[in-house]
A and B are shown apart, each in its own frame.
Chain A
Amino acid sequence: MIETVIPIAFTLVALAVVLNFWRLLFGPDAPDRILALDTLYVNTIALLVLFGIYSASNIYFEAALLIALMGFVGTVALSKYLLRGDIIE
């Protein structure tokens, strides 16, 4: 069962990554790109976890955890910049 599901999931998430890249590179505007980066972070987490299940190893999970945490902060910082320019005030 899981052998069949993982390649399918992998393909779907990879497709999403490609679409994220489209938004990231072609915008058209800054918020689009920030959102694209954020979604890219989310999809990367998915990819890592899938890869971990596939190779039956949990060594990739910390990276996923850290991306979850750091991706959020990066998005917050970028959004704050759009909003106020000065991010620490």
Chain B
Amino acid sequence: MSLLGLVLTIFVGSMLAALVSRFGRLHAAWLSGVVVVVALIQLLFLMTPVIDGETTIERWSWIPTVGLDLVFRLDGLGMLFALLILGIGLLIVIYARYYLSERDCMGRFYAYLMLFMGAMLGIVLSENIIQLLIFWEMTSLSSFLLISYWQERSDARNGARMALAITGAGGLAMFGGFVLLGEMVGSYELSVILDSGELIRNHPQYLTVLILILLGAFTKSAQFPFHFWLPNAMAAPTPVSAYLHSATMVKAGVFLLARFFPALSNTPEWSWLVGGAGLITLLVGAIVALFKHDLKGLLAYSTISHLGLITLLFGIGTPLAAVAGVFHIINHAIFKASLFMAAGIIDHEAGSRDMRQLNGLWKYMPHTALLAMVAAGAMAGVPLLNGFLSKEMFFAEAVSAATYLQLGWILPALVTLSGIFAFAYSIRFIHDVFFNGEPIGLPKTPHEPPRWMKVPVEMLVALCLLVGILPTLTVEPLLRIAAGGVLQAPLPYFDLAIWHGLSPALLMSLIALIGGLLVYSLRYPLFRLHDRFEPYVQASKVFDALLRALHALAAAITRHTDIGSLQRMLAWFVFSALVLGISGFAAGDGILRGPRTTLPLDGVSLVAAAGVIAAALATVLLHRRRLLSLIVMGAVGLIVALIFVKFSAPDLALTQLSVEVVTIVLLLLALYYLPQRQLPESGLWRRARDGLLALAAGGGAALLSWAVLTRPFTSISDYFLDNSVSGGGGTNVVNVILVDFRGFDTLGEITVLALAALGIYAMLEHLSLSGPTVDRRGRPWDRDVHPAIMGSLTRILLPMALLVSLFILLRGHNLPGGGFIAGLVTAVALITQYLANGVRWTQARLPANMHPVIGVGLLLATLTGLGSWWFGYPFLTSTFSHMHWPIVGEFELASAMLFDLGVYLTVVGATLLILIFIGMLHSGDDTEHKPAGESA
């Protein structure tokens, strides 16, 4: 049982949720629920040392060469957040199962939700801050997917894009801050950073680091002026809103404040920046919330306001304020999740979220109404509910902070003002929705939701009451552990009593209560005032305008530099390469010819060189007759392969030969849609210029190779030659390098290949083009689509070609060959069947769906790499042993061969996918030959 395992459980759950939803609508929900419960149980076991006041640190080797380890940390703060994330996550999983309708794809929803949950857990359990950042960015991405879950709605797409732009930009700033911080402290690990508070605060770059990190925290937790993405993210399904705005996403921002509290706080800069942003957000959120007619809009601005409250508490910077901040994080998570869920129920069962339509729902859904009213009371800070306790602490902190910050009455007054509005919007939530007459024009008659949709709300509301009435028995132990994790120091004295006597805080609560009632009773004139000014002050409009200006700027730059001419771009590119090369060369010793003696010239090389030069020249001269230049290019490729053979690079030769054929097929496919004859498009002068440029560049490259080849040079190849057999168990050094020494590069390359294939597939899927009906000379195409001789011959060829590719694959580790070449050979062999026998014939015999092949290939390669972790070695360490088989004789088994098989499958899948889909672009006058896949 480990923290890594805990995080991985959720991520694996995400993948499984997507998979199992194929077999039934509710499978994904059940699976997610079980996975979260399993994770919670793991967490309970892992928590034991933390409860005793220890911090668990767990280290896994990740990328040791750059000093990056996967390090997890579980302390009080992380434990609190992990509990909130998983606990509320479980309730959301249950709730969403009833919330989503028949039309919504359950698998996709739960997969995204679990992905998000895993990323959040990663944030709160990270010890390494770079690792924390990676999870941070994952939450931005997965929340984008969640918010845009209803992809067909433009508000969902816009809201998601806005959230991604804001939180992504903040993440980027935070990255900068983290790197500076890491360099400042000399370590990227929290244990060191949290102990280096003095060093950080006295560093000249403290302010830069602080601002960059705060940008990350503020964008995420929707602090003013970045608050506007949050209301726009309300386009998400309500379970998502409930989750993102209670326990996660926005809480990640305040988590960051809490996490870095010991390292960054306790300076005037911190107080002003964090406290200032918090105070403004607190006020703006509370005031705007009152004017939102949309139930979720009100809750969204209330969330903003409460996050401002928490930020302000951390900004005040005293240990006691931090304790209050942590306390309010807990309380807000509980009541806000339940409120969002209640709003979702109302939306679900009444068909509207507009408080001008929703009235008097008490009669229709009394049970839900009661739950929502208790939760709203907690939000307002009514005594005996949890919100009251932390709000009281907050008021008290504001008063004491005002005395030592010498702000006089301003801070308490503003805080009380926010309290007044918080009371007013909470009353509005209760009174407008559940009382205030009868519903107006609802699309359906409201009724109570299914039993289990209310259960999560009931549990949360029960918690509101328990914490509110018996704080010392329920929440205090947890709060003490969590606050200890924040402060990394002994806790200050505090007392979670409901009655603290007649204190300034109580007075402020009373003023807020009375003021709130007053503001609410004056709401109609206030609404009219708001409607007059609202169009002028909308942050999201400012954001849109900024974004439009940015787009316009980018478009203007593109317009002025790129006129869409490939010739011009290439001319500039080649020209600058020439200038750079020549100036670089001139700056050196300027001697072209090195001291090495040249090898004697032999006849074979001379003939090959003459052949390749002739063929290359012919390609250039024939370039307007595309087919002919393609044929000649085939000869160029062939000679190049021969040159590789001559200079003892059989692997390269084999690769070149296979790539050559694939290229010919690909270009022929494209040629069909191009004009058969191309006329000169540019004038003589320009052609002369381009010709000169090309000559100069080609000549330069030749001279450079000459300069390199004539100099003595020791490469790293000796190392590979010496270690190939001992380290990788293969005598073919090229292949051992590919699958073992540089296996990670190969894995990256096949991933890129797979992505490219899928990208091409996505772009071509529904495209269809029409090609010419006559050939270059105007003759109609032959009517014999698949000549019998061609068809029969290629069918005989197939088993032989497959045998050859199997041979090349298996021997690859020791003799020329390997997965890449074998994959190309197989792909070519299969493509031949498409060429000679047609799409329909082939697809009747061979499944055309290449996605699983690519997927299995990548998975195999990755799993082989991961396999070495299992045995405690770094990623992609290969192992091998020799076996003696009867008949076959000595046979070597290397784990790298499995990796090679993965490469093979990916190459086959990607090549086939690309070629077949380009081949099927042709819409065809002849419906008989439509590919089978398209008619289905």
Q: Do A and B bind each other?
A: yes
Measured CB to CB, the residues of A under 8 A from B are 14, 17, 21, 24-25, 27, 30, 33-34, 36-37, 40-41, 44, 47-48, 59-60, 62-63, 65-67, 69-70, 72-74, 76-89
Q: Whose C-beta in chain A lies nearest to the C-beta of B838?
A: A89
Given contacts A70-B825, A89-B929, 13 further A-B pairs with CB under 8 A are A21-B614, A25-B615, A33-B631, A47-B642, A60-B650, A63-B645, A67-B657, A69-B825, A70-B657, A76-B794, A78-B668, A81-B668, A89-B919
Tell me which residues from 842 to 877 in chain B have a Cβ below 8 Å from any Cβ of chain A. none
Q: How far is the CA of A83 from the CA of B657 in the complex (A)?
A: 25
Q: What is the chain B residue whose CB lies nearest that of A82?
A: B775
Q: Is B627 a contact of A88 with CB atoms below 8 Å?
A: no
Mark B residues whose CB is within 8 Å of A: 607, 611, 614-615, 618, 627-628, 630-632, 634-635, 638, 641-642, 645, 650, 653-654, 657-658, 660-661, 664-665, 668-669, 671-672, 771-772, 775, 781-782, 784-785, 787, 790, 794, 797, 800-801, 804, 808, 815-817, 821, 825, 828-829, 831-832, 834-836, 838-839, 915-916, 918-920, 922, 924, 929
Chain B residues with CB under 8 A of A36: 631
User: Contacts of B660 on A, CB cut-off 8 Å?
Assistant: 70, 74
Inside 8 A of A77's CB, which chain B residues have their CB? Answer: 661, 664-665, 668, 835
Whether the Cβ atoms of B657 and A25 lie closer than 8 Å is no
Q: Complex formed: what's the CA distance from A82 to B671 in Å?
A: 11
- A77 CB to closest chain B CB, in angstroms? 5
Contact B627 A25 (CB under 8 A): no
Q: Once bound together, how far apart are the Cα atoms of A82 and B817, in whole Å?
A: 33
Q: What separation, in Å, do the CA atoms of A66 and B650 have in the docked complex?
A: 11
Tell me the bound Cα distance from A63 to B664 in angstroms.
18
Residues of the B chain whose Cβ atoms lie less than 8 Å from the Cβ of A37: 631, 634-635, 638
B781 touches A83 (CB 8 A): yes
Query: From DSSP, what is the main secondary structure of chain B's interface residues?
Result: helix
Known contacts A62-B654, A76-B790, A84-B782; A70/B828 CB under 8 A: yes
Asked whether A85 lies within 8 Å of B797 as measured between CB atoms, the reply is no
Q: How far is the CA of A34 from the CA of B631 in the complex (A)?
A: 7
Choose from B630, B654, B665, B668 the contact partner of A63 (Cβ within 8 Å). Answer: B654
The A-B contact count (CB < 8 A) is 156
- Asked whether, in the complex, the Cβ of A88 is within 8 Å of the Cβ of B835, the reply is yes
Instruction: Please state if A40 and B635 are interface contacts (CB–CB under 8 Å).
Output: yes
Q: Which of B632, B671, B784 has the most CB atoms of chain A within a 10 A radius of its CB?
A: B632
Is A80 a contact of B631 with CB atoms below 8 Å? no
In whole angstroms, how far apart are the Cα atoms of A30 and B627 in the complex?
Answer: 8
Chain B residues closer than 8 Å to A17, beta-carbon distance? 607, 611
| Beta-carbon contact of B772 and A85 below 8 Å | yes
Contacts A/B (CB < 8 Å), 13 sampled: A17-B611, A30-B631, A40-B635, A62-B650, A63-B654, A67-B638, A70-B657, A70-B658, A74-B661, A85-B775, A86-B672, A89-B838, A89-B924
State which of B635, B801, B815, B919 has its C-beta within 8 Å of the C-beta of A87. B919
Inter-chain CA distance A14–B603, complex, in Å, is 11
Given A14-B607, A69-B801: A89 in contact with B839 (beta carbons within 8 A)? yes
| A66–B772 CA distance with the chains assembled, in angstroms | 34
Measured CA separation A78–B628 after assembly (Å) = 10
Tell whether, in the assembled complex, residue B835 and residue A66 are in contact, meaning their CB atoms are under 8 Å apart: no
